[in-house]
Amino acid sequence: MDLLVFAHRGEAMTFLKELELKSNSQYNDLYQNGDTLLLITKEGPHEVLVKLSYALGLFPNIKRIINLGICGSLNKEIELESIHKPRTIYKENEFKSFQCNSNENKDSVDLITTEKRILTEDDASALKNFATLVDREAHAVAQVAKTFNKTFEVYKLVSDHITDAKFCERIKENAQLYSDKLYDFYDKNIQSSSSKAEQNSELEILRDSDFYFSVSQRRIFNNLYKSLLKKSTINNEQDFTRVLSIEDIKSREEKTPKERTSLLINNMSHALYPFRTKVQDSLNELTSELRTYDCKFKYDKDLDKKSFKFEAYIDSEEKRDLVVRTLKNFSWQRFSQIMDGQIDV
């Protein structure tokens, strides 16, 4: 049984979704699906010591503790968004240090855990003598793991370089990106052998270098593919390649791998829901001018109701007037026709 440990829900959001983890009734901030548990401790060594110890008491069968999350770098040469498995884990003002149990893929960088956030160069200067990376949880995770005689591993994504600049807002804005990257790393490098066997049986296109699937795109792709197998003439991967014009998409050299993936997903949606796709394309054409002004439209998910939610980003009086004028010219009659299925009128 594995226990994944995160400080913040933002770091864990993709794991909660992709692993289909459900809240455990015995303990707040503990989630479970089969032999995988996930704990959100909140930030700081004390929070980790208390919550992780309690979770291990509830589930004595836990064999491995995996701490994932973001960290800062005390060395500006360390690449942002790179993921590291620290060699040695220190704690500020404490002699005891720890090393992860597994030596596989261990980095040549060390990590130090602190009691408070390190936000300035002055705070960071004394720590540079001990480690390259800094966080607020790893040492406490290691301490509890050793006390309970559990295997532990630590993986950290570098979210920032420690400077005087304010970076907290950027970390908050990029929480989904960081969670996706951590999950992608976990999925490819850490999961159990049974999960790996399932991963090895996946479609070849998911490993094709001409495409790049983010975590969310991979989920959408898998759901669409399953639906296509049930509802269309696609019976295998060869049919899929032919019907979806995969080779044509791969030949689009002007597109990036991620853009090719978006084209593929659009083709899959069109093959599965041809009429719905036509409706959506007509709505996109109708709203194209407003969308160029950073306006967003949200329709009924089943496209049954003649209504939409409208959102606009206004940063000047001129833009306000432009959006208002364009919205006044919006054709409600054409919108009604499209929602009634009159696509080619």
Q: What CATH number is given to the structural domain containing 145? A: 3.40.50.1580
What share of the chain has pLDDT > 90, as a percent?
Answer: 31
Residue 290 pLDDT > 60? yes
Together in a domain, 29 and 83: yes
Q: What domain range is 262 assigned to?
A: 202-272
Confidence band of 243 (pLDDT split at 50, 70, 90):
confident
Whole-prediction pTM value?
Answer: 0.64
What is the rounded average pLDDT of the residues 70-81?
Answer: 88
**Beta pairing class for 133-135 and 89-91:** unpaired
**Lookup result for tokens 């409600």:** 332
Together in a domain, 266 and 279: no
Q: Is residue 345 part of a domain?
A: no
**What token pair was written down for 14?**
């993709």
Q: Is residue 344 part of a domain?
A: no
What is the rounded average pLDDT of the residues 233-260?
Answer: 81
Segment 146-150 long-range contacts (CB within 8 Å, at least 24 positions apart): 146/98, 147/53, 148/53, 148/56, 150/56, 150/62, 150/63, 150/64, 150/65
Angle at 154 between CA 150 and CA 158, to 5 degrees: 165
Torsion angles phi and psi, residue 154, rounded to 5:
-130, 130
Together in a domain, 262 and 279: no
pLDDT: which is higher, 270 or 164: 270
Q: Is residue 175 part of a domain?
A: yes
Asked which of 180, 197, 214 is the last residue of a domain, the reply is 197
What is the number of structural domains in the chain?
Answer: 3
Q: Is residue 133 part of a domain?
A: yes
Going 8 to 10 to 11 to 15, the CA torsion angle's sign is positive
Q: What is the pLDDT of residue 96?
A: 87
Residue 260 pLDDT > 60? yes
- pLDDT tens-digit profile of 151-208? 899 999 998 887 645 556 667 778 888 899 999 889 888 875 445 444 445 677 888 8
